[in-house]
Structure 1
């Protein structure tokens, strides 16, 4: 751990560092956040099992983000064609939970890096917070909290609003594109315990007609370090101080035909990784 990080850990996004990055720190870069973060965190490793080491400098500071209050929730993608690493992140001009007015509202921006460490953020407000991007049929799409879809020609600007497929209690999500099916992995505020669920969307229809299937449970807290021995209570919005019986912040990483689920444990107390099988 790093003295700057504090004890709030959430919002993982994992990539394999491309070969065209010089002097990389490790084979894998794991980006993550703090609920009231002043910078985006990074851990690196040569194996998924670790050991993981912290890059204490961080990769994007609040001062360079065009936000004034906090930044969090990285969603990182490698674009081999262009030769850059794209990181979506959200923030506001207040601390998390600082209100829903002009300054307190949270939005997503995008930043670009050639090395995965130094990012340049664009000032355009793209979408709602907790954005997770994917590509389908030649377009860039995204889902953001609470289940709002967006579309863009280049994935960098001018995101068009689409349908909202979930209730206002949908929190964090991750996505997998499997042929014509979008698998949406997510959590819900108010669940007891908050746990990871899965719904699917048939992408072959016009996007304004997309609908989500009824969710199924994927993973609940089962082990002590996931919070399983703590009281079950309906989850609430916002930052968590201390450990609770909740799983949050799902993220997906795929490699060599295998799919991995990353998630925040015991509320916002750490990050775990598990292999998903379907």
Structure 2
């Protein structure tokens, strides 16, 4: 049995609104890579991709050290207009709006806590949740990302790049939103929200849906594969406070039989900059407005034998980094 503990590496986030005015106040959804040697003219050793929850482009920052200082690249990377997602809000037929609201309320969805009109939630054109991987074999950088495809329908697409800045998106819809991918025994697998598994023999196309794990209130996840064990770091809507949990999945055997373990807690808001000074309230779906007592959007970065956890602080107010220690019990 292995226990996991998180060590905060700094007394504050590595990226906040103060890092550069271009990124705005809503900062979430990190994904970090080390730029490979075959990329010429790179900005720094490390790139972090992140987003505004309802933004029009994927943000990009770079550094030569994981702890910073991090510099924002103001133009960003992938733009909404390049993504194959609509750039204008879709129509919102009144009958569909009424049906959605009734269904959401019957499921206990707190529409009053959204902070914006439910119709805006269902029609807000955007791209977000980058999940970025270095494909050394094909000398390319792969970014999975989601956007609003149609009324109330968020899905995932994929884009590729030779330099980590300029991406070319593919039109194919791969599956649900908030996609995290990993490789295992000749397949590319993905876990999307809320707990939907996919796999494909190709990394860019042809994903089939598999089992549905976790629960309907699962939000975002980060994945780490060690041998035949998948470590899933995740958060849950409605928790007080929303915090980072860990479940594992035994990857041996038929994927239709995979099942997550009961969750253990890894990290919760403790410091003021993590939102620990804000009121304890149940979290809600969608955008986190302002400084709230929540941790969201875990992401994993591995370098040699070291494993790092990135996460959104105080709701969606910045990005922090911790180091994970795996201790044998």
Q: TM-score, normalised by structure 1?
A: 0.96
Is residue 284 of structure 2 the alignment partner of residue 236 of structure 1?
A: yes
Q: Residue 140 of structure 1 corresponds to which residue in structure 2?
A: 188
| Equivalent of residue 64 in structure 1, options 76, 82, 100 | 82
| Equivalent of residue 36 in structure 1, options 50, 54, 57 | 54
Q: Residue 234 of structure 2 corresponds to which residue in structure 1?
A: 186
Q: CA deviation at 1:4?
A: 3.1
Q: Residue 10 of structure 1 corresponds to which residue in structure 2?
A: 28
Please list every run of at least 4 consecutive aligned residues from structure 1 whose deviation after the TM superposition is greater than 6 angstroms. Answer: none
Structure with more helix by fraction? 2
| Equivalent of residue 250 in structure 1, options 281, 295, 298 | 298
TM-superposition CA deviations, 1:49-95 (whole Å, max 9, x none): 100000001101000001121000000000101100000000004xx
Gaps of 5+ in 1: 94-101
Task: State the distance in 1 between where 2:138 and 2:262 align.
Answer: 38
Tell me the secondary structure at the aligned position of residue 225 of structure 1.
helix
Q: Which has the larger radius of gyration?
A: 2
Counterparts in 2 of 1:165-176, with a 5 A limit?
165-176=213-224
Gaps of 5+ in 2: 1-18, 87-124
Is residue 132 of structure 2 the alignment partner of residue 76 of structure 1?
A: yes
Task: State the distance in 2 between where 1:110 and 1:154 align.
Answer: 12
Task: State the distance in 2 between where 1:275 and 1:144 align.
Answer: 24
Is residue 105 of structure 2 the alignment partner of residue 87 of structure 1?
A: no
Q: Residue 208 of structure 2 corresponds to which residue in structure 1?
A: 160
| Equivalent of residue 309 in structure 2, options 261, 267, 272 | 261
Q: Residue 243 of structure 2 corresponds to which residue in structure 1?
A: 195
Tell me the secondary structure at the aligned position of residue 4 of structure 1.
helix
TM-superposition CA deviations, 1:228-254 (whole Å, max 9, x none): 011111100011221100000000001
- Name which structure has the greater RCO, CA cutoff 8 Å, separation 6+: 2
Counterparts in 2 of 1:91-102, with a 5 A limit?
91-93=147-149, 102=150
TM-superposition CA deviations, 1:9-67 (whole Å, max 9, x none): 00000000000000000000000000111000000000011000000011010000011
Tell me the secondary structure at the aligned position of residue 129 of structure 1.
coil
Q: Residue 72 of structure 2 corresponds to which residue in structure 1?
A: 54
Q: TM-score, normalised by structure 2?
A: 0.81
Question: Paired residues, what number?
Answer: 270
Task: State the distance in 1 between where 2:286 and 2:248 align.
Answer: 27
